[in-house]
Structure 1
């Protein structure tokens, strides 16, 4: 959908960091314990803190939702600053970082829009995020590739006006079907492209 390069979130995984810290403390404590012939030493504190930290990291990893792949470029990031709305910028930050305790990215958004019913087991899965500039209008577009099992595209199309109000102001949403259960949700910014061209004067 775009010629730009792929990018991933630079935000760290707290689960991986916690596991690494807990593992390091625990293994070092084992080393100290056996190298001292089993004598009680500071290694005892390592066990006290290391194992709980390790278990916390494993729990975080279980509840971890990885960031969605972002297709962008340095040029697109620059244009984002002046052409994207605050809502679009916030969405990119939200979906390109690790989340904990959520089944899917933007889960609360879909609930607020009435796209997830009570007791519905599956959630729309965000497969990819693409930033692009619409060729004819020069407007910034944030494109979300969604996989929604047993969710008809027509249901999402019926919510477009509500999406415009929800993500607005200065946003127009559209749906571009890809295949069964998969489609692009395109959020087009209505911010004037001249706001950026004026910077080069």
Structure 2
């Protein structure tokens, strides 16, 4: 007749056999995508997996093969469902662009790794407006304007958006518009520039039309 000790050993063996029979986790990093250009600091990494019931760790690693780890955080799966997220911190940009690995490792199963580039710190993004010989002032109606956004600093290339209040006017660097309503009407135009790393700068130009 089996003793309690024997029964306990049998239960542990059965439990280990059941666990080992479960499928491994196969996680993937959904966001950011491999090859993304990002700024240094804290980012949210989104992870999908077939086994959200198992612990997953997201780490930031040097890409030079040294194995240096800059941050590691557990993935949180809300309600026990996939996908989950982990907030990890990338080193801040220095004098040159630097690549890092972001890797998710489950307790059982293969890891998944992507590479991201942290842009050099550079100088802050700034934006101005070339008013084409019509600086902000008071003019008689009608007034034809050709305003050109000019950006400097920041990282990479720039995109531009023009607004009047919250009304979008243009998604290019140039805004061409004719101001026809006089009587002291005040027009305010906002030029917003965004660089490759997502930094944003804006400037307003104001005209009064009599």
TM-score under structure 1 normalisation?
A: 0.25
User: Greater helix percent: which structure?
Assistant: 1
- Higher RCO structure (Cα 8 Å, ≥6 apart): 1
Larger gyration radius, structure 1 or structure 2: 2
User: Greater strand percent: which structure?
Assistant: 2
